[in-house]
């Protein structure tokens, strides 16, 4: 069988029991779309386009896809666009994470089922990029990730505004009665004024940087603003790179390796990236049997400086990061700590890339390794009886005064309980207390939402309290800030110790020792365990995707992937 019989429209034929008839039928139906016979002979590059009217971050994708197609044609391929599920972060209930795995399944199966020799993945909004990388890793077809890019900033008076750190900052001011309804309404219309993802180092931009570091996106493309002409040029270059991989295939399994994953962790720590990225990178790596150890994360964090001065950790925005040098500038500062023999989709080794002229680097935005913003990485994993399988703290966005502290727990048993009581004037809470949210993990009814950023109770925020220790099995937006402990595993809903915490208990946090401990004796905990019952609705009482999710979702330390989607022989504990 020659190449022409295994490429393009002859690839992965629909089975009618007659090979030649299958080719004949497929070509005849393809002809109805106006392709010439010459075009139908070309190898195919699929374009997974996640445009949706429910995804504001991807509003520019119809224009961008035309430039991807142009690049594919330049490379001698036939571009064929196809849709997959799109996840617009703020438009999904109960949370976009619940549907990340569904999108990953859709991406993987459409790559497998349809005739394509390589694929371009177009994503941007928080969960779209990890979902696409998960699906691509499992399908293992030559793939290039194209990022949609961040928004540009706006203005409110003399202040620059960028979604969504400033969303939270102004909402905090409104809750504390520092600004009135008229001003918050005005700010609402100025926070997000262009297409693209959040303008800060939130989850979307963090995953863009991780994609570039892994080698799945073209060098220099992670931070280009969505509305910049360079974003369209990047789309063309991405299409061309995908077409070139038809003759010289480079598969995700060659790019996403233990070494490139460790490089991605280093960059994550150096940019002060989103806590969500730990879950997503764990899931992506897990598709190839690569395990991310939270102990190893801590070892890397202790030796990786924070270099990037962007909100929510610093003061600048993604457009500043782009013009200041981007991911390449960060990696050059980290060069002695990186594995330089990793491969990108271009076929280039990381060490060779970093030997090239770095160009201008804005040291107000990207610090040097000799003069970092922080000596230690932005994220740290905590362990202890409250989180035996780990929890995550974004220490670069937290108040260091709270890092070594013992306090009294104030417990909210669910999101509904939190909403009902957090602003009650009679709530018994003080600034030195520790807020605890239970039953918000991946197996809970809420599906692990970005609710870990518990609001400061109004009775305290109105007194000027800006931060408190907050603990949950939930996530938080990468745009958020505060001393917030997240992803507690195992979660409360499946019997984790977090679910046994009661108001009045003492909790001790030590970031230096990387410990989070519930100071209750074992006899009392045994009594509480005997009384505890789960509020999870069993899978057999559910239907559709909700049933699949309930039966298969893993804990945070395994990336919240589905057990059956991991490689055979690497499935973890989904109990």
Write out pLDDT tens, residues 158-183.
999 988 889 889 998 998 899 999 99
Q: pLDDT band at 62, cuts 50/70/90?
A: very high
Instruction: Tell me the C-alpha distance between 423 and 421, whole Å.
Output: 6
161 with 140, same domain: the answer is no
**Residue 270 and residue 224 share a domain:** yes
Distance CA 144, CA 78 (A): 16
pLDDT tens digit sequence for 423-436:
999 999 999 999 99
How many Å apart are CA 60 and CA 150, to the nearest integer? 11
Whether residue 572 is contained in a domain is answered as: no
Residue range of the domain that includes 428: 379-531
Beta bridge partners of 380: 393
Domain final residue pick, 188, 203, 233: 188
Res 5: pLDDT = 63
Question: For residue 212, how far is the Cα from the chain centroid?
Answer: 13
Residue 82 above 80 pLDDT? yes
Residue 464, number of CB atoms within 10 A of its CB: 10
Confidence of residue 6 (pLDDT cuts 50, 70, 90): confident
Average pLDDT over residues 305-320: 95
Is residue 552 in a domain?
no
Element (H, E) at 155: strand 154-156
Residues 62 and 169 in one domain: no
Q: Specify whether the CB–CB gap between 10 and 4 falls below 8 A.
A: yes
The pLDDT tens digits for 108-121 are 999 999 999 999 99
Please tell me what DSSP assigns to residue 176.
T
Has residue 442 got a pLDDT over 90? yes
- Mean predicted confidence (pLDDT) in 6-34: 93
For residue 572, CA distances in Å to 28, 43, 569 come to 47, 39, 9
Give a yes or no: residue 547 inside a domain. no
Per the omega criterion (within 30 degrees of 0), is the bond before 164 cis? yes
Cα separation, 481 vs 467, whole angstroms: 9
> What would the two tokens of residue 421 be?
């009581």
| 429/312 same-domain check | no
- Under the banding of pLDDT at 50, 70 and 90, the label for residue 570 is low
Structural domains of the chain, count:
3
Q: Is the pLDDT of residue 567 over 50?
A: yes
In a domain, 536, yes or no: no
Q: Is 77 within 8 Å of 44 (Cβ atoms)?
A: yes
Number of other CB atoms surrounding residue 63 within 10 Å: 12
Same domain, 213 and 248: yes
Of 157-166, 207-216, 371-380, 510-519, the one with minimum mean pLDDT is: 157-166
CATH number of the domain bearing residue 404: 3.50.30.80
CB 275 within 8 A of CB 392: yes
218 found inside a domain: yes
What pLDDT score was predicted for residue 265?
A: 98
Would you call 118 helix, strand, or coil by DSSP? strand
pLDDT of residue 480: 84
Tokens of 210: 């991780």
CA proximity to 148, closest of 28, 59, 86: 59
* Same domain, yes or no: 180 and 306: no
In contact, 7 and 42? CB cutoff 8 Å? no
Structure letter (DSSP) for residue 557: G
Q: How far apart are CA 131 and CA 418, in angstroms?
A: 30
* Residues 344 and 416 grouped into a single domain: no
Q: Kindly report, residue by residue over 214-265, the tens digit of the pLDDT.
A: 999 999 999 999 999 999 999 999 999 999 999 999 999 999 999 999 999 9
**pLDDT reading at 571 higher than 70:** no
Average pLDDT, the chain: 95
Residues 275, 210: Cα–Cα separation, whole Å: 13
**Percent of the chain at pLDDT above 90?**
93
Taking residues 266-281, report their average pLDDT.
Answer: 97
pLDDT at residue 181, rounded to an integer: 95
What number of CA atoms fall less than 13 Å from residue 366's CA on the CB side? 25
Residues 444 and 510 in one domain: yes
165 vs 426: CA distance, rounded Å: 30
According to DSSP, the β-strands at 78-83 and 118-123 are: unpaired
Same domain membership, residue 305 and residue 181: no
Q: Is the pLDDT of residue 2 over 80?
A: no
How is residue 488 written in tokens? 């507690």
Query: How would you classify residue 224: left for phi > 0, otherwise alpha for psi between -120 and 50, otherwise beta?
Result: beta
3-class SS of residue 144? strand
Same structural domain, 209 and 260: yes
Same-domain check for residues 213 and 345: yes
564 lies in some domain: no
Sequence-separated (6 or more) residues with CB below 8 Å from residue 6: none
Query: Higher pLDDT residue, 548 or 477?
Result: 548
Which run of H or E residues covers position 552?
helix 544-552
Per DSSP, helices labelled H in 302-396 are 318-323, 326-333, 350-354
Give the residue carrying structure tokens 């233990």.
Answer: 258
Residue given tokens 């280039």 in the structure block: 348
For the cut 70, the answer to whether the pLDDT of residue 276 exceeds it is: yes
Which of 59, 50, 53 has its CA nearest to residue 196? Answer: 59
Query: End-to-end CA distance of the chain, in Å?
Result: 47
Q: What share of the chain is helix, strand, coil (3-state, %, to 5)?
A: 40, 15, 45
Compute the C-alpha angle 490/491/497, nearest 5°: 75
**Residue 3 confidence (pLDDT) above 80:** no
Evaluate if residue 503 carries a pLDDT over 90: yes
Q: How many C-beta neighbours within 10 Å does residue 567 have?
A: 13
In a domain, 473, yes or no: yes
Q: Please give the backbone phi and psi of residue 435, each rounded to the nearest 5 degrees, phi first.
A: -80, 135
Rounded alpha-carbon distances, angstroms, from residue 49 to 54, 58, 120, 166, 491:
14, 9, 9, 29, 35
Q: Is the pLDDT of residue 488 over 80?
A: yes
Q: 118 lies in a domain?
A: yes
Whether the predicted pLDDT of 484 surpasses 60: yes
Same domain, 238 and 330: yes
What whole-number distance in Å separates Cα of residue 206 and Cα of residue 477? 11
Query: What is the dihedral sign for C-alpha 256, 257, 261, 266?
Result: negative
């Amino acid at each position: 069988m020659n190449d022409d019989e295994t490429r393009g429209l002859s690839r992965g034929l629909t089975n009618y029991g007659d090979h030649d008839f299958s080719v004949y039928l497929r070509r005849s139906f393809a002809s109805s779309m106006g392709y010439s016979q010459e075009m139908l002979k070309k190898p195919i590059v699929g374009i997974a386009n996640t445009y949706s009217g429910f995804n504001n971050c991807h509003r520019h994708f119809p224009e961008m896809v035309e430039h991807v197609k142009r690049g594919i044609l330049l490379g001698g391929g036939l571009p064929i666009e196809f849709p997959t599920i799109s996840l617009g972060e703020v438009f999904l209930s109960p949370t976009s994470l619940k549907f990340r795995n569904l999108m990953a399944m859709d991406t993987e199966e459409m790559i497998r089922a349809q005739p394509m020799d390589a694929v371009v993945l177009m994503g941007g909004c928080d969960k779209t990029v990890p979902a696409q990388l998960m699906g691509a890793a499992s399908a293992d077809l030559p793939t290039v990730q194209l990022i949609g890019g961040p928004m540009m900033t706006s203005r409110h008076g003399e202040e620059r505004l960028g979604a969504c750190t400033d969303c939270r900052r102004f909402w905090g001011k409104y809750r504390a009665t520092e600004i009135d309804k008229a001003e918050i309404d005005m700010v609402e219309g100025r926070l997000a004024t262009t297409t693209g993802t959040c303008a800060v180092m939130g989850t979307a931009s963090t995953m863009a940087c991780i994609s570039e570091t892994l080698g799945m996106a073209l060098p220099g493309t992670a931070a280009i603003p969505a509305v910049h002409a360079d974003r369209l040029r990047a789309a063309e270059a991405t299409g061309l790179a995908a077409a070139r991989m038809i003759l010289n295939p480079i598969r995700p399994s060659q790019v996403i390796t233990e070494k490139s994953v460790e490089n991605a962790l280093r960059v994550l720590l150096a940019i002060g990236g989103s806590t969500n990225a730990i879950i997503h990178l764990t899931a992506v790596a897990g598709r190839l049997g690569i395990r991310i150890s939270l102990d190893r994360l801590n070892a890397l964090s202790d030796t990786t400086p924070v270099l990037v001065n962007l909100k929510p950790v610093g003061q600048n925005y993604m457009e500043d990061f782009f013009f200041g040098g981007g991911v390449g500038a960060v990696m050059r500062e980290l060069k002695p700590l990186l594995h330089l023999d990793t491969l990108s989709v271009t076929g280039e080794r990381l060490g060779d890339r970093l030997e090239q002229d770095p160009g201008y680097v804005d040291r107000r935005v990207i610090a040097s390794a000799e003069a970092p913003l922080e000596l230690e990485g932005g994220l740290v994993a905590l362990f202890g009886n409250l989180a035996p399988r780990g929890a995550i703290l974004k220490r670069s966005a937290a108040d260091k005064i709270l890092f070594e502290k013992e306090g009294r727990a104030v417990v909210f048993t669910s999101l509904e309980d939190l909403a009902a009581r957090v602003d009650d004037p009679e709530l018994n809470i003080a600034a030195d207390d520790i807020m605890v949210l239970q039953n918000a993990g991946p197996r809970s009814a809420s599906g692990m939402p970005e609710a870990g950023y518990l609001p400061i109770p109004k009775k305290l925020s109105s007194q000027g309290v800006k931060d408190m220790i907050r603990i949950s099995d939930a996530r938080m937006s990468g745009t958020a800030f505060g001393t917030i402990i997240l992803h507690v595993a195992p979660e409360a809903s499946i019997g984790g110790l977090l679910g046994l915490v009661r108001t009045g208990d003492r909790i001790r946090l030590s970031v230096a020792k990387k410990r989070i401990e519930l100071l209750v004796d074992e006899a009392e905990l045994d009594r509480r365990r005997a009384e505890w019952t789960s509020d999870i609705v069993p899978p057999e009482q559910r239907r559709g995707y909700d049933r699949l999710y309930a039966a298969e979702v893993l804990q945070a330390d395994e990336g919240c992937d589905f057990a059956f989607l991991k490689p055979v022989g690497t499935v973890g504990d989904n109990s």
